[in-house]
Every structure is written in C-alpha cells, then in structure tokens.
Amino acid sequence: MKKWILLFFKGVAMGASDVVPGVSGGTIAFISGIYERLIHAIKSVNIQNIKLFFTGHFKEFWKNIDGNFLVCLAAGIATSFLSLAKLITYLLEAYPVLVWSFFCGLIVASVIFVGRTVKWNWKTALTLVVFAVVSFFVTSPENAPLGQNSAYWYIFLCGALAICAMILPGISGSFILVLLGQYAFILESLVELRIDVIGIFMVGAVVGIVSFSHVLDWLFKNFEMITKAALTGFMLGSLNKIWPWKSLLDTTVYPNGEIQKIEENILPTEFGGEFWGAIGLAILGFGIIFAIEFISEKMKKNTGNVAA
C-alpha cells in the first residue's frame, strides 16, 4: 500500500510541475525513478493490448499495460491539476522571483542527478552540448508566443505537442502551450471545467503520448547513454526559461483579455530580502531532489532486504 501512496504523490509532484511553464513533469518522473517504467507502460497501450480488452481478457490487458501504475500516477497528476492550478498561477503572478528560484534549484539538482547516470565520452558530451543549445533557444523567454486559437483541431494539436514535451525532462509542456498561445486558455478551461475543450485536449494528449512513447522506449533500449545525455542537455538548456530575474520587453493583450509577455533574463538589481529569499528557495529546491534520491534509494534497499 505504501508504494501506491508514494506513487500517487509522485503523480501530484509531476502534475504540479507541469502546471508551471518551464518545469517538466518528466524531470520529476526521471529523478523519482519511474521514468522508464512510465514510458514502457504508455507504450503498452497499443492495438494488440486494446484488442485484449474488447475481447474480454481484462486481467491480461490490465497486467500488460501496468494498469495499477498508470491509474495511480494519473490520479496524482489529475489531483494536482485540479487543486493546484489556481494556487500556482497565483504564486507565479504574486511572487515570480521566489517561485522561479525554487524551480531553478530543482532543475540544477536534476541536471546533476541525471548527469551522474551517464557514461561520459565524446559522443555523450557532444549530445549534451547540442541538446542544451537547442533547449536554450526553444525555451528563450524572448520567444514571441502565437495568438490564441480556440478551434478544436488546434486544441487537439496543442494537446499532442504539449504531452510530448511533458514527458521530456527539461522541456515543459506548459511552456510549449505558452509558445502556442494556449496556456491561459487551457488553464482557464481546467478551472472552469469546460468539458469540450478539456476532452479534445486530452484526446490529443493521448494520441501524442502513445505515439511518442514508442520512440522514447526504442531510444532507451538502443541508445540509453545518448538518450540520457540528450535529456540532461534539455534540462540544462531549460534553465534559460527558469532564470528568476527578468525584464519585460513587450506585452500583447488578445481580444479575450489574455495577456502574453515577452521578457529577457537579467542579473538581480537589488540584494534585499527577496534576493536572499530566492537564494534560500533555490537551495531548498536543490536539496529536495537529493532528499528524494536518498529516500528512493533507502526504499529500494529495504525492499531488497525484505525480498532476501
């Protein structure tokens, strides 16, 4: 029972991360030790296993897709989306420097954590550099977002693209929605429970994640170290977006009242209470990652001892 409760809270942490434009739930999955299992479980939702369901082989279907794992994790993510969306949105508006500092600490520690699992050579080092550069430019706060589009086909496409980013450590699905001009619209739809928008977005997400999971699973099986180096690069480059101190360059107000900002990163200009608060929260975020690692390793040892 304990393992399912822990898994549920890992889902909550993933959901909370995915609400923030710039922090990836895939990062949380990776550092909490469930990333490859998640990719494999999602990949297992294929035509062959779906046929088992419709032919009455429910137990075999559930076992093949790791159903208990997926449902428990999804419940945590959904709980986080529905309960934390308003809170995190408020905190980002009211205390942006402090919130981004906390997540900056999380990502720096995640880069170190994932990087330690890579066998470094010139190939993995080159992969790290290439993907860090790509991530740096993709997540630039100076990127101008597209305008909002509420057409169903576009909502479907946004769901498919955002979910692919959500399971990539370092690339936030929420930030992709910001670039596509849909972040505020989707978040508002979640808060107001607009069933049509949420439903179409979720269908796009399912199609996107099932398709993309096959690619990731194949990459892990055939190029594990290169893939991990690429993911480390993604996270390293994403620090460009998460940097706490920014200057406003331009603001766009759309007809529906949505406001999109274009910013640039700057050095802190004041070193008062907020600065030291930001440093403290960054250290806290950094420490949380290694606390999670410590607890996970301890649980693994305890499980091994029980099995022995």
245-271 pLDDT, tens digit each: 888 777 766 555 556 667 788 888 777
- Give the per-residue pLDDT at 105: 86
What mean pLDDT do residues 200-221 have?
85
264 strand-pairing partners: 247
- Give the per-residue pLDDT at 23: 62
- Give the per-residue pLDDT at 272: 72
Q: How far is the C-alpha of 252 from the C-alpha of 145, rounded, in Å?
A: 9
Are 208 and 7 spatial neighbours (Cβ–Cβ below 8 Å)? no
Which residue, 67, 28, 25, 26, is CA-closest to 44? 67
- Give the per-residue pLDDT at 254: 57
Q: Examine the pLDDT at 21 and tell me if it is beyond 70.
A: no
44-83 pLDDT, tens digit each: 877 888 888 888 888 888 988 888 898 999 898 888 877 7
According to DSSP, the β-strands at 246-253 and 259-265 are antiparallel
Choice among 68-82, 143-157, 210-224, 237-251 with the minimum mean pLDDT: 143-157
Q: Examine the pLDDT at 280 and tell me if it is beyond 90.
A: yes
**What's the one-letter identity of residue 183?**
Y
Q: What is the mean pLDDT of the chain?
A: 80
Are 237 and 27 spatial neighbours (Cβ–Cβ below 8 Å)? no
Are 13 and 79 spatial neighbours (Cβ–Cβ below 8 Å)? no
Percent of the chain with pLDDT strictly greater than 70: 83
- Give the per-residue pLDDT at 308: 44
What mean pLDDT do residues 260-287 have?
83
Better-predicted residue by pLDDT, 179 or 294 = 294
131: tokens are 């993907």
How long is the chain?
308
- Give the per-residue pLDDT at 300: 60
Q: Give me the long-range contacts of 210-214 (CB less than 8 A, separation at least 24).
A: 210/42, 210/43, 210/45, 210/46, 211/160, 212/163, 212/164, 212/167, 213/39, 213/40, 213/42, 213/43, 213/167, 214/43
**What's the one-letter identity of residue 10?**
K
φ/ψ of 282, rounded to 5, equals -65, -40
- Give the per-residue pLDDT at 128: 94
Choice among 66-75, 90-99, 129-138, 253-262 with the minimum mean pLDDT: 253-262
- Give the per-residue pLDDT at 307: 44
- Give the per-residue pLDDT at 306: 47
Q: How far is the C-alpha of 121 from the C-alpha of 21, rounded, in Å?
A: 32
- Give the per-residue pLDDT at 84: 73
